Amino acid sequence: MNVIGNLSSKNTNAYIPMRPNLTKTLVPALLFCMLPQANADELTNAEREKLSKRLEELLHKSQETLTQRQATAYKAYKQAIQSETAAMELYLNCVELADFENQGKKSSDFRDWKRNQKDRYSDPSFKCALRHQLNWLVLTIEAARSEEDINKLGPKARQALQNIFKDASKLKGQENILRQGASSSVFARAYGFGAMKVENWPSSPLAISEIYEKLIFPPLRDAGKASLLRSAWLERLNYEEQALLEWAHVPKDKSIGMKKDMLPPAYEKYMAEKKPKLVWKMEKEVFLAGDEAGAATRMLTHISKFISHNDATKWAEELQSMIAPQKAASTEVAPDESKSKSGYIELPVE
Protein backbone atom coordinates (compact mmCIF):
# COMPACT_ATOMS: atom_id res chain seq x y z
CA MET A 1 0.00 0.00 0.00
CA ASN A 2 1.33 3.42 -0.89
CA VAL A 3 0.72 5.51 2.19
CA ILE A 4 1.19 8.80 0.36
CA GLY A 5 -1.56 8.15 -2.11
CA ASN A 6 -2.43 10.54 -4.90
CA LEU A 7 -0.57 13.79 -4.35
CA SER A 8 -2.98 15.64 -6.61
CA SER A 9 -5.79 14.91 -4.14
CA LYS A 10 -7.97 17.87 -3.22
CA ASN A 11 -7.97 16.92 0.48
CA THR A 12 -7.55 20.17 2.42
CA ASN A 13 -8.81 18.98 5.80
CA ALA A 14 -5.32 19.22 7.29
CA TYR A 15 -4.29 22.74 6.39
CA ILE A 16 -0.57 23.41 6.88
CA PRO A 17 0.30 27.13 6.78
CA MET A 18 3.98 26.61 6.08
CA ARG A 19 4.52 28.09 2.64
CA PRO A 20 7.82 29.09 1.11
CA ASN A 21 8.12 32.48 -0.55
CA LEU A 22 8.36 31.72 -4.25
CA THR A 23 8.34 35.32 -5.45
CA LYS A 24 12.10 35.71 -5.56
CA THR A 25 12.58 32.72 -7.81
CA LEU A 26 9.50 33.01 -10.03
CA VAL A 27 9.49 36.72 -10.83
CA PRO A 28 12.69 36.90 -12.91
CA ALA A 29 11.86 33.73 -14.83
CA LEU A 30 8.29 34.73 -15.58
CA LEU A 31 9.20 38.22 -16.72
CA PHE A 32 11.89 36.84 -19.01
CA CYS A 33 9.49 34.34 -20.61
CA MET A 34 6.61 36.78 -21.02
CA LEU A 35 8.45 39.72 -22.54
CA PRO A 36 8.78 39.94 -26.33
CA GLN A 37 12.43 39.15 -26.95
CA ALA A 38 12.75 41.23 -30.11
CA ASN A 39 11.31 44.38 -28.54
CA ALA A 40 13.61 46.34 -26.25
CA ASP A 41 11.01 49.03 -25.56
CA GLU A 42 10.03 49.79 -21.96
CA LEU A 43 6.87 48.26 -20.55
CA THR A 44 3.72 50.29 -20.69
CA ASN A 45 1.57 50.59 -17.59
CA ALA A 46 -1.02 48.34 -19.20
CA GLU A 47 1.61 45.67 -19.91
CA ARG A 48 2.94 45.92 -16.37
CA GLU A 49 -0.55 45.49 -14.96
CA LYS A 50 -1.19 42.49 -17.21
CA LEU A 51 2.08 40.81 -16.22
CA SER A 52 1.49 41.47 -12.53
CA LYS A 53 -1.97 39.96 -12.71
CA ARG A 54 -0.67 36.86 -14.48
CA LEU A 55 2.17 36.53 -11.98
CA GLU A 56 -0.24 36.78 -9.06
CA GLU A 57 -2.36 33.99 -10.58
CA LEU A 58 0.67 31.74 -10.99
CA LEU A 59 1.90 32.38 -7.46
CA HIS A 60 -1.54 31.63 -6.06
CA LYS A 61 -1.71 28.40 -8.04
CA SER A 62 1.78 27.39 -6.92
CA GLN A 63 1.00 28.02 -3.24
CA GLU A 64 -2.34 26.24 -3.54
CA THR A 65 -0.60 23.21 -5.06
CA LEU A 66 2.00 23.17 -2.28
CA THR A 67 -0.68 23.46 0.39
CA GLN A 68 -2.63 20.56 -1.08
CA ARG A 69 0.55 18.51 -1.37
CA GLN A 70 1.51 19.16 2.24
CA ALA A 71 -2.00 18.42 3.44
CA THR A 72 -1.90 15.05 1.67
CA ALA A 73 1.54 14.36 3.13
CA TYR A 74 0.38 15.29 6.65
CA LYS A 75 -2.48 12.82 6.37
CA ALA A 76 0.00 10.16 5.25
CA TYR A 77 2.27 10.97 8.21
CA LYS A 78 -0.63 10.45 10.61
CA GLN A 79 -1.39 7.09 9.04
CA ALA A 80 2.24 5.95 8.98
CA ILE A 81 2.86 6.50 12.71
CA GLN A 82 0.32 3.78 13.44
CA SER A 83 2.84 1.02 12.73
CA GLU A 84 6.54 0.50 12.07
CA THR A 85 5.78 -1.20 8.76
CA ALA A 86 3.81 1.81 7.54
CA ALA A 87 6.53 4.19 8.73
CA MET A 88 9.15 2.16 6.83
CA GLU A 89 7.09 2.19 3.63
CA LEU A 90 6.64 5.95 3.84
CA TYR A 91 10.36 6.37 4.50
CA LEU A 92 11.26 4.55 1.29
CA ASN A 93 8.74 6.61 -0.69
CA CYS A 94 10.22 9.81 0.74
CA VAL A 95 13.80 8.76 -0.03
CA GLU A 96 12.84 7.96 -3.60
CA LEU A 97 11.15 11.34 -4.03
CA ALA A 98 13.59 13.60 -2.16
CA ASP A 99 16.92 11.99 -2.95
CA PHE A 100 16.30 10.53 -6.39
CA GLU A 101 13.31 11.92 -8.34
CA ASN A 102 13.81 15.52 -7.17
CA GLN A 103 17.54 15.22 -7.89
CA GLY A 104 16.92 14.05 -11.47
CA LYS A 105 18.31 10.57 -10.82
CA LYS A 106 17.08 7.45 -12.56
CA SER A 107 14.69 4.89 -11.07
CA SER A 108 17.43 2.30 -11.41
CA ASP A 109 19.61 4.39 -9.08
CA PHE A 110 16.96 4.16 -6.38
CA ARG A 111 16.58 0.42 -6.87
CA ASP A 112 20.35 -0.01 -6.53
CA TRP A 113 20.36 2.08 -3.35
CA LYS A 114 17.44 0.11 -1.93
CA ARG A 115 19.20 -3.16 -2.64
CA ASN A 116 22.36 -1.96 -0.90
CA GLN A 117 20.40 -0.70 2.12
CA LYS A 118 18.34 -3.86 2.60
CA ASP A 119 20.03 -4.88 5.85
CA ARG A 120 19.42 -1.46 7.36
CA TYR A 121 15.76 -1.02 6.49
CA SER A 122 15.07 -4.60 7.53
CA ASP A 123 16.36 -3.82 11.03
CA PRO A 124 13.44 -3.57 13.54
CA SER A 125 15.31 -0.94 15.57
CA PHE A 126 15.63 1.28 12.48
CA LYS A 127 11.90 1.00 11.77
CA CYS A 128 11.13 1.81 15.39
CA ALA A 129 13.31 4.94 15.31
CA LEU A 130 11.67 6.14 12.10
CA ARG A 131 8.24 5.82 13.63
CA HIS A 132 9.22 7.94 16.64
CA GLN A 133 10.92 10.49 14.40
CA LEU A 134 7.84 10.76 12.22
CA ASN A 135 5.62 11.19 15.27
CA TRP A 136 7.73 14.18 16.35
CA LEU A 137 7.40 15.67 12.87
CA VAL A 138 3.61 15.42 13.19
CA LEU A 139 3.77 17.24 16.54
CA THR A 140 6.08 19.87 15.03
CA ILE A 141 3.58 20.54 12.24
CA GLU A 142 0.79 20.81 14.81
CA ALA A 143 2.90 23.30 16.77
CA ALA A 144 3.54 25.32 13.60
CA ARG A 145 -0.14 25.70 12.81
CA SER A 146 -1.33 26.10 16.40
CA GLU A 147 -2.80 29.47 17.27
CA GLU A 148 -2.83 28.63 20.97
CA ASP A 149 -0.07 28.64 23.57
CA ILE A 150 2.55 26.12 22.49
CA ASN A 151 2.52 24.69 26.04
CA LYS A 152 -0.84 23.13 25.16
CA LEU A 153 1.17 20.51 23.28
CA GLY A 154 3.25 19.74 26.38
CA PRO A 155 1.26 16.59 27.28
CA LYS A 156 1.70 15.21 23.76
CA ALA A 157 5.43 15.94 23.84
CA ARG A 158 5.67 14.24 27.24
CA GLN A 159 3.83 11.20 25.91
CA ALA A 160 6.18 11.07 22.92
CA LEU A 161 9.17 10.89 25.28
CA GLN A 162 7.51 8.21 27.39
CA ASN A 163 6.94 6.10 24.28
CA ILE A 164 10.56 6.51 23.17
CA PHE A 165 11.95 5.35 26.50
CA LYS A 166 9.61 2.38 26.59
CA ASP A 167 11.50 1.33 23.45
CA ALA A 168 14.93 2.42 24.74
CA SER A 169 16.55 -1.02 24.52
CA LYS A 170 15.09 -1.64 21.09
CA LEU A 171 16.37 1.72 19.84
CA LYS A 172 20.00 1.08 20.80
CA GLY A 173 22.23 2.01 17.88
CA GLN A 174 19.52 4.18 16.24
CA GLU A 175 19.28 6.98 18.80
CA ASN A 176 21.02 9.46 16.49
CA ILE A 177 17.94 9.39 14.25
CA LEU A 178 16.00 10.78 17.22
CA ARG A 179 18.59 13.47 17.87
CA GLN A 180 18.11 14.77 14.33
CA GLY A 181 15.79 17.72 13.84
CA ALA A 182 12.42 16.52 12.56
CA SER A 183 12.30 19.17 9.84
CA SER A 184 15.64 17.96 8.43
CA SER A 185 14.41 14.38 8.13
CA VAL A 186 13.72 12.85 4.74
CA PHE A 187 10.03 12.77 5.67
CA ALA A 188 10.02 16.56 5.90
CA ARG A 189 12.30 17.23 2.93
CA ALA A 190 10.21 15.15 0.56
CA TYR A 191 7.04 17.21 0.99
CA GLY A 192 8.09 20.78 1.60
CA PHE A 193 8.53 20.90 5.38
CA GLY A 194 12.33 21.11 5.29
CA ALA A 195 12.48 24.83 6.07
CA MET A 196 9.93 24.64 8.88
CA LYS A 197 11.00 26.28 12.14
CA VAL A 198 8.78 26.78 15.16
CA GLU A 199 9.77 29.26 17.85
CA ASN A 200 10.27 27.68 21.29
CA TRP A 201 9.58 24.20 19.95
CA PRO A 202 12.34 21.57 20.43
CA SER A 203 13.53 20.37 17.04
CA SER A 204 14.11 16.73 18.00
CA PRO A 205 12.34 14.23 20.28
CA LEU A 206 15.50 13.57 22.28
CA ALA A 207 16.04 17.21 23.25
CA ILE A 208 15.01 16.14 26.76
CA SER A 209 15.99 19.21 28.80
CA GLU A 210 14.58 21.54 26.15
CA ILE A 211 11.25 19.69 26.05
CA TYR A 212 10.84 19.97 29.81
CA GLU A 213 12.13 23.53 30.14
CA LYS A 214 10.04 24.94 27.30
CA LEU A 215 6.88 22.84 27.30
CA ILE A 216 6.33 20.97 30.56
CA PHE A 217 7.76 22.97 33.47
CA PRO A 218 6.41 26.50 32.67
CA PRO A 219 2.69 25.87 33.32
CA LEU A 220 3.49 23.92 36.50
CA ARG A 221 5.74 26.70 37.79
CA ASP A 222 3.18 29.39 36.98
CA ALA A 223 0.39 27.50 38.75
CA GLY A 224 2.52 26.79 41.82
CA LYS A 225 1.90 23.05 41.54
CA ALA A 226 4.90 21.97 43.63
CA SER A 227 4.15 18.24 43.76
CA LEU A 228 3.48 17.93 40.02
CA LEU A 229 6.53 20.07 39.23
CA ARG A 230 8.77 17.79 41.29
CA SER A 231 7.31 14.68 39.61
CA ALA A 232 8.03 16.16 36.18
CA TRP A 233 11.58 17.00 37.27
CA LEU A 234 12.20 13.45 38.50
CA GLU A 235 10.86 12.13 35.21
CA ARG A 236 13.27 14.33 33.27
CA LEU A 237 16.22 13.19 35.40
CA ASN A 238 15.24 9.57 34.92
CA TYR A 239 15.14 9.94 31.14
CA GLU A 240 18.54 11.63 31.04
CA GLU A 241 20.04 8.82 33.13
CA GLN A 242 18.34 6.15 31.04
CA ALA A 243 19.58 7.68 27.79
CA LEU A 244 23.17 7.53 29.04
CA LEU A 245 22.85 4.02 30.43
CA GLU A 246 21.23 2.64 27.29
CA TRP A 247 23.03 4.53 24.56
CA ALA A 248 26.29 6.07 25.82
CA HIS A 249 29.52 4.58 24.52
CA VAL A 250 31.36 2.05 26.71
CA PRO A 251 35.11 1.73 25.93
CA LYS A 252 36.29 -1.76 25.04
CA ASP A 253 38.55 -1.94 28.09
CA LYS A 254 35.45 -1.54 30.31
CA SER A 255 33.28 -4.09 28.54
CA ILE A 256 34.56 -6.99 30.63
CA GLY A 257 34.39 -7.16 34.41
CA MET A 258 32.01 -6.19 37.19
CA LYS A 259 28.78 -4.36 36.37
CA LYS A 260 30.12 -1.13 37.90
CA ASP A 261 33.13 -1.26 35.62
CA MET A 262 30.83 -1.48 32.59
CA LEU A 263 29.05 1.83 33.23
CA PRO A 264 29.58 4.41 30.46
CA PRO A 265 32.02 7.16 31.50
CA ALA A 266 29.47 9.78 30.37
CA TYR A 267 26.94 8.31 32.81
CA GLU A 268 29.40 8.31 35.69
CA LYS A 269 30.31 11.93 35.02
CA TYR A 270 26.65 12.93 34.82
CA MET A 271 25.85 11.26 38.14
CA ALA A 272 28.84 12.82 39.91
CA GLU A 273 28.72 16.34 38.48
CA LYS A 274 25.61 17.33 36.55
CA LYS A 275 22.81 15.46 38.31
CA PRO A 276 23.56 16.96 41.78
CA LYS A 277 23.29 20.44 40.23
CA LEU A 278 19.99 19.56 38.59
CA VAL A 279 18.57 18.05 41.78
CA TRP A 280 19.46 21.25 43.62
CA LYS A 281 17.75 23.33 40.93
CA MET A 282 14.69 21.08 41.17
CA GLU A 283 14.35 21.53 44.93
CA LYS A 284 14.80 25.30 44.66
CA GLU A 285 11.96 25.46 42.15
CA VAL A 286 9.77 23.23 44.34
CA PHE A 287 10.52 25.55 47.31
CA LEU A 288 9.46 28.59 45.26
CA ALA A 289 6.37 26.74 44.03
CA GLY A 290 5.11 26.41 47.60
CA ASP A 291 6.58 23.32 49.26
CA GLU A 292 9.04 25.23 51.44
CA ALA A 293 9.24 22.78 54.34
CA GLY A 294 9.70 19.64 52.24
CA ALA A 295 12.13 21.23 49.79
CA ALA A 296 14.26 22.82 52.53
CA THR A 297 14.61 19.50 54.34
CA ARG A 298 15.63 17.73 51.14
CA MET A 299 18.07 20.51 50.25
CA LEU A 300 19.79 20.14 53.62
CA THR A 301 20.08 16.38 53.06
CA HIS A 302 21.42 17.03 49.56
CA ILE A 303 24.21 19.26 50.86
CA SER A 304 25.16 16.60 53.41
CA LYS A 305 25.22 13.89 50.74
CA PHE A 306 27.33 15.91 48.29
CA ILE A 307 29.42 17.86 50.79
CA SER A 308 32.52 17.43 48.60
CA HIS A 309 30.80 18.74 45.45
CA ASN A 310 32.26 21.95 44.04
CA ASP A 311 28.94 23.74 44.53
CA ALA A 312 28.29 22.59 48.11
CA THR A 313 29.35 25.91 49.68
CA LYS A 314 27.22 27.88 47.24
CA TRP A 315 24.24 25.63 47.97
CA ALA A 316 24.62 26.17 51.70
CA GLU A 317 24.68 29.95 51.23
CA GLU A 318 21.60 29.83 49.00
CA LEU A 319 19.68 27.70 51.48
CA GLN A 320 20.68 29.98 54.36
CA SER A 321 19.26 32.93 52.44
CA MET A 322 16.04 31.06 51.61
CA ILE A 323 15.28 29.94 55.16
CA ALA A 324 16.36 33.11 56.96
CA PRO A 325 13.58 34.30 59.31
CA GLN A 326 11.37 36.89 57.71
CA LYS A 327 11.32 40.25 59.40
CA ALA A 328 8.02 40.89 61.18
CA ALA A 329 6.14 44.05 60.32
CA SER A 330 7.06 46.91 62.65
CA THR A 331 4.58 47.47 65.56
CA GLU A 332 6.38 50.43 67.19
CA VAL A 333 4.17 53.42 68.08
CA ALA A 334 5.38 56.77 66.85
CA PRO A 335 6.62 58.94 69.75
CA ASP A 336 4.26 61.59 71.06
CA GLU A 337 5.81 64.90 70.15
CA SER A 338 3.82 66.61 72.90
CA LYS A 339 6.18 65.05 75.42
CA SER A 340 9.57 66.49 76.18
CA LYS A 341 12.72 64.47 75.83
CA SER A 342 12.71 64.00 79.61
CA GLY A 343 9.27 62.42 79.54
CA TYR A 344 7.38 65.35 81.14
CA ILE A 345 4.33 66.89 79.51
CA GLU A 346 4.84 70.45 78.41
CA LEU A 347 1.94 72.64 79.53
CA PRO A 348 0.82 75.53 77.37
CA VAL A 349 1.84 78.95 78.60
CA GLU A 350 -1.15 81.13 79.61
pLDDT digits (tens, 9 = 90+) for 167-217: 999 999 999 999 999 999 999 999 988 888 889 999 999 999 999 999 999
Nearest C-alpha neighbor of 234 from the set 223, 255, 220: 220
CA–CA separation, 227 vs 217, rounded Å? 12
The CB-side HSE value for 248 (13 A sphere, CA atoms) comes to 18
Contact 31, 51 (CB under 8 A): yes
Give CA angle at 324 (319, 330), nearest 5°. 160
Q: Which string of b and e fits 148-166 if b means at least 16 CB within 10 Å?
A: eebbebbeebbebbeebbe
Three-state DSSP class for 345?
strand
205 within 8 A of 133, measured Cβ to Cβ: yes
Closest to 80 (Cα-Cα) out of 14, 127, 134: 134
Q: 260 or 276: which carries more pLDDT confidence?
A: 276
CA nearest neighbour of 292 among 336, 251, 325, 263: 325
The residue-averaged pLDDT of 291-313 equals 97
**pLDDT value at 21 more than 60:** no
Which pTM value belongs to this model?
0.74
Would you place residue 70 in the very low, low, confident or very high pLDDT band (cuts 50, 70, 90)? confident
